[in-house]
Amino acid sequence: MTLDVDPPEPPELAAVDPNEYEDAEVAGGEYRRDELEAFLREGAWEEAFEEWAAGSDMDEADWRIALDLELVSRFDFFWDDFADRVGYHAPGLPEDWKERDLHPDLESWGTVSAINAGLTELGQIVCETLKEEYIDWEAEFEAPDDLPDFES
């Protein structure tokens, strides 16, 4: 399936400690957001978005809801030096979406699931694009010498 929409503006990355997210555990404190944000603006966001949209299961109605709720602007990307990767936090719709009456077209768990899964997939593709195509720095973390040797 293909989602035929224009890429939105890339998110502005806030200075949030990624360990505050429920789904992230990051060692270190240098998250390199300024550099990542520059890469997003230089083309990584558009490149990743187009790749994601070409295979997305979201339809235009789901995407319109995500845009109306400004979910894209709430993405966060950060460098995880310990893991030598780009980490991310994808925005999503809360479990109590129905009680909160978030959007007039938000009527089913299927739509909520499609939006949440779609945004998670987009975040992953953005991370992969950044790491493979844009980042040329090496992780600075060095493992201690006293780690056990598991090779036989």
What is the percent of the chain where pLDDT is above 70?
A: 80
Alpha helices, H only, 8-148? 33-39, 45-55, 60-68, 97-100, 109-129
* pTM (predicted TM-score): 0.84
Residue pLDDT, tens place only, 26-83: 566 677 888 999 999 999 999 999 999 999 999 999 999 999 999 999 999 988 887 8
Span 81-92, mean pLDDT?
87
Confidence of residue 2 (pLDDT cuts 50, 70, 90): confident
Element holding 1 (H helix, E strand): none
